[in-house]
A and B are shown apart, each in its own frame.
Chain A
Amino acid sequence: MSTEEKVPTDKAVDPQAPAPGSAPGSATAAQGLAIVARTQGQLVRRRFFRHRAAMISLTILFLVIILAYTSIGFAGIPGWWIWNYYTPGKVVNRGAPTLSLWPTFLGGSGFSIGEHPFGQDDLGRDYFALTMRGAQISIMIAFVVGIVSTLIGVTIGALAGYYRGWVESGLMRFTDVMITIPILVIAAVLGQKFGGAGPLVLAIVVGLVLWTGLARLVRGEFLSLREKEFVEAARALGAKPNRIIFKHILPNTVGVITVSATLAIASAILLETALSYLGFGVRAPDTSLGLLVSTYQNAFATRPWLFWWPGLFIITIALSVNFIGDGLRDAYDPRQNRVRA
């Protein structure tokens, strides 16, 4: 039972195609087995859609994003929520949340959203709007960080893995240096310097520190793939390095890259909220989920809602992204089939 080589194919035989029965005729007639050709992309997509946790998470994440961006609007486009996140108001009932979910027949006050479902903060601002704004910023930062770090990581890893020699040594030494600095430390330093310039700048800057893991991974993949025969064949045909990298090797690393990018987004959320919590991330007057938690952490005993809502959103977003990443990983590299015991 030797391990199978991962052969990069454009078409794959679908082992689940039923045999429609043998056709009458001579021995050289139709085989009786239908071979349905599917591209790798289609296979991956199929497996991904079968992963229940990932699909549920995808839906949840989608809903959260839509909620965050449409409820209070952004970039000048108005939203459908009555309150905004910056206008102070009168504090009603100590700012307690007006959301109730417990149905009346179970002793609650029925289902209603009320004026301020998430409550109000010290200044009477609507907490739902604040949370949504925080979510918007955190999500935006996470995605930007994910994209930037993926681009850098893939570039460095690909160059190092393909060109070997001093290019590789230099890039890998540089990566080693960056790895020596704990991520939170370097992110905090950069955040201290650039945090005041707004969330987008912060995001790009933080993306400049999260690429080390992906660079190592991509380099590893390139190192093993460039020894494969199909690369040798391409080189023998006279293909230029550019073409080999982009058309031959890179498509085979798509799986690893996608999974890493997704996980990078998840850790970016946690990193950004941690930074904002410590004070090195998003600063007032902007808000982020981490900043909200930091501001109200001491109110936990008296006004727990100020603390719960932002945290729950952080967890939901990070968890969904993590599950999606896991689903992608399974889709690209399925392990042994589950056996009905």
Chain B
Amino acid sequence: MLPFIVRRLFISFFVLLSATFIVYVLVASAGDPRAALQESTDPGKANKIAILTRNLSLDVPVIPRYLAWLKGALGCLIGQCDLGNTATGADVGSQLTTAMGSTLRLVLFATVTAIVLGVTVGMITALRQYSGLDYSVTFLAFLFFSLPVFWIAVLMKQFLAIKFNEWLKSPSISLAITVVVAVLVGLAAMAILGGDRRRKLLAFAGGAAAVAVILTYLNLTDWFSEPGIGVVAMIVMSAITAVACTALFADFRVRTVLYATLVTALVGVISYFALDPILADPTLLLILGLLVVALVVGASIGAGMGGLFRSQAIKACMLTAFGCSALVFSSHLLNAVPAYSAKVNGVVIATIGSSTPNFTGNFWETTLDQLGHLILPTIAIVLISLAAYTRYTRASMLEVMNADYIRTARAKGLTERTVVVRHGFRNALIPITTLMAIDFGSVIGGAIITETVFGWSGMGKLFNDALKIPDPNAVMGFFLVTGTAIVIFNMIADIAYGFLDPRIRLS
């Protein structure tokens, strides 16, 4: 494995190097930054032109300029970065560090969401091929694929942000909406669970009824004004999580795994109360630490109670622990919404910037602030990637499910669930790793656009402004970060591929 990684690093380094050369030359020759000044009637323009020339070394020809930049950039490898100055004389490096934070947040969040959602939906539609759900999802995927990001972003600003914030001031769910949503969820449940007629009808009725009850309850108790997860809801949802995780990893014939996950869920509920004081205003580090503890506790419960099914129990319990932790986290977040809303004058879902300027509040309010700003750009980017992941996963899963070894697995007498999850899903994932690498580039492109639409001061804006001048140093700074990210992501994808497919590993 190790020589493989080292060799890849080596090749990637030179690939990146060549790319920087191409980009630099293209940007440098894309125009003269002094052209606008030269045409202007500004009396101080001679001075300005001189400053510009000095900042960007415009008196030096392109190739030596590139080499000078390269020397400075290579210094990054030993910790002495010198990426030059921007047109205004600021240091590119420090500009990057301020801009990187928000963009990285956006890109990571969007990528993870797109992958998780896309793969799940793709799998489900593959297993329920040619159903109504499949057709609708396929159509939606095509639609999202054909959407211009900037256009949909503007639409979202209006409807998902402004209108939503308005609605939040006096939230109520009309009966019509309740019925429509209930029916839609019922239809989805029916399609997902499949089975014979009776099972489908039960799924529809169950799903629709559950949603109708929940929405009516939320409406009547005015939940949206003061959201939170009460004790009852906490217990119920933790139990559901436990059951779902069991269903994913084991079957219900032998109760061992189910008991283990239920115990984990119980621990989760107890800790919800027990940890209340610590979680009043935690730090990110504390949250992550608690998450690790939760996973470890879950694993130990699984190991302890798992008996003959230890490995399945551990996996199921860890996932349950993660789910319950997420519930606790969400509960605290929701509790902080009214306070946060008051601080930002009701603009819960923001449309400008990556965070409210000069905002102060506890951890939850700050997180809500970031999430509120993050949500719209993320949705915009996710929509496009989602379509690709869904289609790809669906195609891959279909191909896998038609393979001979699936037939063998069924012939061995394995449950359908085991066949799908252990044999089908695992093999279907292999080509998706390649998609992850390819898709990352388009996520970055999406980030550039959404940052422009939503006014974020991130890498996208940096790139945009810099290219209009054109300012080679700033653009190169941008490219260095994104290029490295792409290269690293590619390598992770390759390694994941090797990990998943033993045939590649040994060659």
Contact = CB atoms under 8 A, between A and B. Distances in A.
A–B contact, 8 Å CB criterion (strictly below)? yes
Nearest to A271: B445
Contact of A274 (B150, B154, B463): B150
B452 A300 contact: no
Determine chain B's interface SS by DSSP, over half rule.
helix
Given A274-B150, A335-B398, A338-B130, A188 B467 contact: yes
Classify chain A: how many residues form its interface, as a range: 35 or more
A84 B150 CA distance: 27
B137 to A, nearest CB: 14
Contacts of B438: 179, 213
A176 B437 CA distance: 12
Given A179-B441, A274-B149, A279-B468, A185 B31 contact: no
A335 B154 CA distance: 39
B148 A290 contact: yes
A280 B146 CA distance: 21
Interface string B380-398: 0000000000000000001
B150 A294 contact: yes
Nearest to B21: A177
B70 interface: no
Interface centre among B26, B147, B150, B441 (most CB of A within 10 A): B150
Contact of B148 (A315, A326, A336): A315
A193 B142 contact: no
A311 interface: yes
A293 interface: yes
A293 to B, nearest CB: 6
B213 interface: no
A177 B22 contact: yes
B283 interface: no
Classify chain B: how many residues form its interface, as a range: 35 or more
Contacts of A181: 19, 22-23, 479, 483
Interface string A290-302: 1001100100110
Contact of A319 (B15, B142, B157, B467): B142
Contacts of A173: 15, 18
B444 interface: yes
B449 interface: yes
A318 B149 CA distance: 13
Interface string B457-491: 00000011001101000010011001100110000
B329 to A, nearest CB: 33
A184 B468 contact: no
A18 B31 CA distance: 69
A55 interface: no
A7 to B, nearest CB: 20
A34 interface: no
B39 to A, nearest CB: 15
A282 interface: no
A180 B402 contact: no
A185 B407 CA distance: 46
Contacts of B15: 173, 176-177, 180
B151 interface: yes
Nearest to A176: B15
Nearest to B145: A322
Interface in A11-65: none
A192 B33 CA distance: 12
B59 interface: no
A177 B19 contact: yes
B146 A192 contact: no
Contacts of A314: 146, 148, 151
B448 interface: yes
B442 interface: yes
B468 A192 contact: yes
Interface in A261-282: 266, 270, 273-274, 277-280
Contacts of B16: 180
A229 B18 CA distance: 39
B143 interface: yes
A182 B151 contact: no
Contact of A180 (B452, B453, B483): B483
A336 B442 contact: no
B210 to A, nearest CB: 28
Contact of B23 (A179, A189, A301): A189
Contacts of B147: 315, 318
Nearest to B142: A322
B158 A300 contact: yes
Contact of B26 (A180, A189, A293, A315): A189
A118 interface: no
A323 interface: yes
Interface in A304-323: 307, 311, 314-315, 318-319, 321-323
B214 interface: no
Given A181-B23, A183-B445, A193 B31 contact: yes
B30 A270 contact: no
A1 interface: yes
A183 B441 contact: yes
A280 B130 CA distance: 42
30 contacts: A173-B18, A179-B441, A180-B19, A181-B22, A181-B23, A181-B479, A182-B441, A182-B442, A182-B445, A183-B442, A185-B444, A185-B482, A188-B463, A189-B23, A190-B26, A192-B468, A193-B31, A273-B150, A274-B148, A274-B445, A277-B150, A278-B452, A279-B464, A279-B468, A301-B158, A315-B146, A315-B151, A318-B147, A322-B146, A336-B402
Which 9 A-B residue pairs are closest in the complex by CB-CB distance? A184-B445, A318-B146, A193-B30, A319-B146, A311-B151, A182-B441, A180-B19, A192-B30, A182-B444
Interface of A: 1-2, 173, 176-186, 188-190, 192-193, 213, 266, 270, 273-274, 277-280, 290, 293-294, 297, 300-301, 307, 311, 314-315, 318-319, 321-323, 326, 335-336, 338
Given A192-B31, A192-B470, 9 more contacts: A176-B15, A179-B438, A185-B445, A189-B30, A192-B30, A266-B146, A290-B148, A293-B151, A318-B148
